[in-house]
Chain A
Amino acid sequence: MHSDKKPILEVKSLSKNFGGLRALNDVDMHILPKEIVALIGPNGAGKTTFFNCVTGIYVPTEGEVWAGREGEKLKKLNGVAPHDITRFGLARTFQNIRLFSTMTVLENVMVGRHTRTNAGILQAIFRGSHFKKEEQETVDRAYELLKEVGLEKHWKEEACNLPYGAQRRLEIARALATDPFLLFLDEPAAGMNPQETVELKELVLRLREQFNLSILLIEHDMGMVMSLSDRIYVMEYGSRIAYGTPEEIRHNPQVIRAYLGESEDA
């Protein structure tokens, strides 16, 4: 991994306290263009908190987050509101699925287009040609993205009626609709059966190529993590305890003790 590419995400000694609890402690991370990076660690290690700090949902206690599209200068994201971070090009899914449950599958993805469209109240009332064109483009784009994740047959259904695995894929489609350069997936395979997990892996690889994406994923399925990731970061008790290629992580004694060992016992 010694490429001369510049990172698109740089996180410097990020920390987050919840009262007395230090959920994140001095975590560093960088992600290169088109890299798939995994973030692993036992439950409660602070992985989701890391996502929330980078995407602006939590304000980090200390540390800096810098990000920018390939070839552009990095921008500091501390203190930027979540919706502006999304507009900037960071998109995410949620560990505990957060779909707009009574809206249709298509509408869920259409909401993702919000930052890339601009029709306002007056345009909605007068329905000029710009409004109609944009509306149709939104619908078409959303439908296309549903095709990418294999949900186009369900486009009219309510999101809450989809099976679990499909809901996770819908969250991915919705995140893609915001035109991100960096995608955060929080336990995308949780609750999926082995078949779906394999399909998910292929989907992630395909999306990276097609959308020129970098992907950071939190995942417990070790098979998936090892075969999918270019690099892996390991966290425990809020701290980063190791990072490196899958091969390096597999043989890191600290990791084996902290994480892999534990999961083998289970």
Chain B
Amino acid sequence: MELERGTFLYEAWTARWSLLEGLMVTISSSVMTIIIGTVLGFAVGLVLTYGMLPFRILARLYVDIMRGIPVLVLILFTYYGLAILKIGVKPYWAGVIALSLFCISHVAENVRGAVQSIPQGQHEAGMAIGMRFFQRLRYIILPQAVRRALPPWVNTALEIVKGTTLLSVIGVVELLLANQQAIARNYMILQFYMAATIVYIIINFSIAQAAAALERRYAYLRY
């Protein structure tokens, strides 16, 4: 296929490597953040629910503060804060750290809500057959709570993918900034933003579909 100079496809083809790289940065920072945020958020969520009082208060403080700060501010704060403290991290990592801090707080709150929504009778039924706290958690409470936490978890994951666009302000060349750089060369504003938008929609649609499939997989568990 011959591509004519000056068409969108031509310009996109010219910029393909930097766009692809931007896409990879978006995906890798999202995945990294979601994994860190889910694992640590899960732990913080349990502390929030069952932790000893001082730890619970600390966790509560953390969650409330993180959820109250605009993500952009969190990103700038982390990036420049670390720089001021002379901790040298690349913008990419500063961004992943900031998004993770945000993600942890949301996952923690989701997990707490899901765990507390399991009726006390489930704990008591476990106690009555002699199960200990961690056994009850592992075999009775969490299997039910995880299924309830899935829908809000998907929301959080989608927020994170969208949130990676904010990393552009600290110079991380993710998908949005890669597009902006292409636009700076060819002024095809509408076309490139549209293309970027479609890619974000595809990513998030895929995540939502994967989660929906997971939910269907367990749909037989109606309770």
A binds B: no
Residues of B within 8 A of A (CB): none
Residues of A within 8 A of B (CB): none
